[in-house]
């Protein structure tokens, strides 16, 4: 029986390089792997290994130099311009290390932002925003500004913003990297709940092995190459 009856992501012989003057600088080389619908995957590796580059490719922020990159049934390497922007708005929710909230907007207004690009009417947008804030445990903070929230609460607002449009895929780039241990644990538990209770497929870049243990699988990158794919959780060692 297939480990993955339905792939939400299929990456095949993916390469990414940048031009620096006359020099071609490879960042990712011959990356091939798949992600199941409903999976929680951690992406690990040392600084400069290409983790964030791979996340940006999966989210349609950047384009591969070569290879096949199918996400939610679409080879996004073939999309451009407005088609790519529409695809991204429909399928991708981003969660960043530094939250990227707009300081002059309330929690409600920050979460509503992605919906302003959709045809939803004001009443429907309100329902979506309040539901998203309820999911992250901030229904009582709708009128608070980022400066009135703790770091953990700001990240929960950012997660609500990422899920408000019900995207296919959540991409989290070091989502606990700027938080204390207690707040980080709360955010990881929230991501687990989104995965287990709401069926969200999550790809999380992290340096923290304890954070990676929350995922189903861990993909390791080293110098732009796939070095290991393993089940998450602490490794068992024999005495």
Strands 66-71 and 7-20: antiparallel
pTM above 0.85, yes or no: yes
Structural domains in the chain (count):
1
Containing structural domain, residue 149: 37-63+81-231
Query: Pick the residue with more confidence: 237 or 67?
Result: 67
pLDDT band at 233 (very low <50, low <70, confident <90, very high): low
- 29 assigned to some structural domain: no
pLDDT band at 229 (very low <50, low <70, confident <90, very high): confident
Would 87 be classed as within a structural domain?
A: yes
In a domain, 130, yes or no: yes
Supply the pLDDT for residue 5: 67
**43: CATH:** 3.40.50.300
For 44-65, write each residue's pLDDT tens digit: 988 888 898 999 999 998 889 9
Contact between 205 and 173 (Cβ < 8 Å): yes
Rounded to an integer, what distance in angstroms lies between the CA atom of residue 172 and that of residue 206? 9
Question: In the beta sheet, which residues pair with residue 228?
Answer: 220
Residue 186 located in a structural domain: yes
pLDDT tens figures, 122-181:
999 999 999 999 999 999 999 999 999 999 999 999 999 999 999 999 999 999 988 899
- Write down the mean pLDDT value for the chain: 89
Question: Is position 123 within any domain?
Answer: yes
For residue 227, give the nearest of 52, 28, 55, 63 by alpha carbon.
28
Structure letter (DSSP) for residue 113: G
Residues 186 and 175: their CA atoms lie apart, in Å, by 11
* Residue 97: per-residue pLDDT: 86
Which positions ≥6 away from 165 have C-beta within 8 Å? 89, 90, 93, 114, 115, 118, 128
pLDDT digits (tens, 9 = 90+) for 179-190: 899 999 999 999
Is 9 inside any structural domain? Answer: no
Coil/strand/helix, residue 223: coil
Q: Is residue 6 part of a domain?
A: no
For residue 68, give every residue at least 6 positions away whose Cβ sits within 8 Å of its Cβ, in sequence order, or none: 10, 11, 12, 13, 14, 75, 77
Q: How many residues does the structure list for the chain? A: 239
92 lies in some domain: yes
Residue 94 CA to residue 101 CA, distance in Å, equals 12
238: three-class secondary structure by DSSP: coil
Question: Residue 115 and residue 124: Cα distance in Å, rounded?
Answer: 10
79 — pLDDT class (breaks 50, 70, 90): confident
């Amino acid at each position: 029986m297939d480990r993955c009856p339905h792939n939400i992501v299929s990456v095949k012989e993916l390469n990414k390089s940048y031009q620096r003057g006359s020099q071609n600088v490879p960042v990712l080389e011959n990356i091939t792997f798949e992600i199941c619908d409903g999976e929680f995957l951690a992406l690990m590796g040392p600084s400069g290994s290409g983790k964030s580059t791979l996340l940006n490719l999966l989210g349609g922020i950047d384009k591969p130099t070569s290879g096949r990159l199918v996400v939610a049934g679409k080879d996004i390497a073939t999309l451009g311009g407005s088609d790519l922007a529409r695809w991204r708005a429909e399928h991708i929710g981003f969660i960043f290390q530094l939250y990227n909230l707009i300081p002059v907007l309330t929690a409600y207004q920050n979460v509503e932002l992605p919906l302003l690009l959709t045809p939803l009417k004001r009443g429907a947008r309100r329902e979506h925003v309040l539901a998203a804030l309820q999911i992250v445990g901030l229904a009582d903070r709708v009128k608070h500004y980022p400066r009135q929230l703790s770091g953990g609460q700001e990240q929960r607002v950012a997660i609500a913003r990422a899920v408000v449009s019900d995207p296919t895929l959540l991409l989290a780039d070091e989502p606990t990297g700027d938080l204390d241990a207690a707040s980080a644990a709360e955010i990881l538990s929230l991501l687990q709940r989104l995965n287990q209770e709401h069926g969200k497929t999550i790809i999380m870049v992290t340096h923290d092995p304890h954070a990676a243990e929350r995922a189903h699988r861990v993909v390791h990158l080293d110098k732009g190459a796939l070095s290991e794919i393993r089940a998450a959780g602490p490794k068992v060692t024999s005495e």
